[in-house]
Amino acid sequence: MIEPGLFPVDPWSVSEPELCFDRLGQTESIFALSNGHFGLRGNFDEGEPHHTPGTYVNGFFETVPLPYAEAGYGYPEEGQSLINVTNGKLLRLLVDDEPFDVRYGTLQRHERTLDLRNGVLRREVDWISAAGQAVRIRSTRLVSFVQRAVAAIYYEVEAIDDPARIVVQSTLVANEPVPEQTDDSRAAAALRAPLISEYHTHNNIKAALGHRTRGSGLRMAAGIDHMIEGPDGTVISAESEPDLARVMVSTELAPGQKLTVIKLLAYGWSSVRSMPALRDQVDAALSAAKRIGWDGLLASQRAYLNDMWERADVEVEGDPQLQQAVRYALFQVVQAGARAEQRPIPAKGLTGRGYDGHTFWDMETYMLPVLTYTAPEAARDALCWRHATLELARERAHQLRLEGVTFPWRTIRGEECSGYWPAGTAGFHINADIADAVRRYVAATGDTEFERGPGFDLFVETARLWQSLGHHDAVGRFRIDGVTGPDEYTALVDNNVFTNMMAARNLQAAADVVARHPQRAADLGVDEHEVDSWLKAADSIVVPFDEELGVTAQSAGFTRYRRWDFEKTRDDEYPLQLHYPYYLLYSSQVVKQADLVFALYLCGDRFDLEQKRRDFEYYESITVRDSSLSAPIQAIVAAEVGHLDLAYSYLRETSFVDLHDLSGNTADGLHLGSLAGAWLAAVAGFGGLRDHGDTLAFSPRLPSSLTRLRFRLIYHGRRIRVDIGSDQVRYELLAGEPFEVCHYGEPVTLSQSSPQIHSYPPLDELPAIEPPPGRAAGRHGVGADGSGEGLVTALPRQ
């Protein structure tokens, strides 16, 4: 866990005021920059020391074998792994022939700041070499939101006190050694030096490298260009070889003189285009960036983010730490998806190789709700990527003897990459999660073109899956048996409520879209009989209920499983999956992460408030949160049923997951699902945002620890601000035509000229409830008063 106070509290930045060598892995992830197309880990400019060098291009991967002790039918034979591509962010510095390295000489000052307004990472260093030469180094790094293929680094060296001979080497390097992340020798061998050179070139202040992968056959090109200002007599040279290209700048600085190197970096890749085409693409991107220059790149970055914060900002009063964390979380979610443009959004974004860079259901269920209401074009692109993988999902369904499509549990290109059968194959709910993301996007944007096209295909083919996966029992109920819901501690169960309710919504949405677009239905061979079968299944879906306890069973028979002995479970035995056998987990009432509680949120229109409260309180006592994905969902439902302080603790937990390294693995990359969960917990939790019906509905309420919460969102092109105080809420339409929202079930008409102010209904006093012993809510490393708390350990995905 990162100790409290490492990052000073600031509402618009995250700063590291001094270098912490033992936190390099975490800070490399925390200071990562990305635009969704490619990303740069927050490694030092000079490259060393490092925890994990990282430059990632979205969708660029190598294939790896998937080993099995005992293979089975339908097991994927090959996996995919995101790889560290050609590193172009290196700028090595020599001062009087001595390499600048923070481990040597005297480091007088070292500060890094991630600027959330400007979208840049700044670094300032005062260093004295072992020979006594003092220099000041300033660098600013950006990955452009506007010029998708481009990154830029402003690098300045100033001599202090005495003249200094300076050499800056601006480098491209491929096949850097990186830490191996697998114990399997075959997979490790496939990822060791995965790039094969196809060309290298240099010319004065430009250089480029082109490579392809050994197994996946993907091609990529990386190029660098420069703008250099230095004293008279500055000398520039360049060289290249298959895995290395560099431009060298040599000069002598008088005291107070500066050398400035502006490095422009561009990436291109393809599975089908030729290397000459990729080389031309990179050259064009560099030329466009050089035309507007450093100041132009900075200005366009600031303009992009100004617009983003105007439409998406979340303001928190009463907890300055939380304000910083929530803004940081939103910034990283936007970075992950802004320019992905029909590529997936990995669970770690492009900040590290955790989970091999795979995309999970996190994308549709955590990240896309945020993007739908803040950057809808990015949500559309992500769904278009899912649609582009439809044929692969259809092939997977056919392999599993099912109709329609079966989308992968984890993937990069669209093939299933999980060999863990209970989740990788039986976690069918991902298909309904995708359909629900389509439903939400269309409802929030009115994008009928998308609905008629990719959305229609996704609705219909996922509905066909459920019709073939489930069956009607002897009394006519529609059952879906042998599946795994979100709770991977209760796998291969019958009638998981989350899966069944999401499937029913999927089936109903598919029937509705067929009625709206009959010609498309005819094109896909959807007839009246098929639609009737969907509606019959949706209307008769099984929802297990324990009449004796008065609670909804997470799955059939779940409330009759043995109770887990939490009192005898030591703190060091979490996560449970690493210390207890599956048979014991699968047959016990212990929940890894929100499952039935997730259904209370996403399918909340199927439960009344009193039932939600009983269900939430029952499952709160057995949910251990061995996944970082759980806290935001528990926060949302806790807020809805009236446990506001508990919800606040969970909001803090999810918001600080990476800034305080609560899961102990931030070094592998950020937890994008959990960071998106910070927005969800604030907006859907305390803002009470729900989108079950034909318009937005709000039921806002604040915990005692917060004095105000404001958030902005986009709906059908309109810009809306919701301002929640301690006893009333103000709804404002900032841009767009008047429309109607719901406040605690009552219609409210918003127009730009008439903000609406409403109070809250009385809140029932509820007795406090607690999670399982040792798993207290708000295990977020730092209390609201800045004091230390316990440690959350996240369960590695299988």
Per-residue exposure over 144-154, b if at least 16 CB sit within 10 Å of its own CB, e if not: bbbbbbbbbbb
Q: Catalytic residue at 198?
A: no
- Phi and psi based region of residue 384 (left: phi greater than 0; alpha: psi -120 to 50; beta: remaining): alpha
Residue 389 contacts residue 378 (beta carbons within 8 Å):
no
Residue given tokens 């609201």 in the structure block: 784
Active-site residue among 488, 620, 653, 732? 488
Quickly count: other Cβ atoms within 10 Å of residue 279's Cβ: 20
Structure tokens given for 17: 């005021």
Give the C-alpha separation, 355 to 606, whole Å. Answer: 34
Task: List 684's β-bridge partners, or say none.
Answer: none
Beta-carbon contacts of residue 122 (< 8 Å; ≥ 6 apart): 112, 113, 115, 138, 139, 140, 141
Beta-carbon contacts of residue 657 (< 8 Å; ≥ 6 apart): 628, 663, 666, 671, 674, 675, 792
Give the C-alpha separation, 718 to 444, whole Å. Answer: 10
Structure tokens given for 467: 């019709």
CA-wise closest residue to 454 among 393, 383, 363, 402: 383
Residue 429 contacts residue 365 (beta carbons within 8 Å):
no
3-state secondary structure 632-656: HHHHHHHHHHCCHHHHHHHHHHHHC
Pairing of strands 87-95, 78-82: unpaired
Give the C-alpha separation, 616 to 646, whole Å. Answer: 12
DSSP state of 483: B
Give the C-alpha separation, 527 to 786, whole Å. Answer: 61
H helix or E strand, kind and range, residue 335: helix 320-337
| Catalytic residue annotation | 488
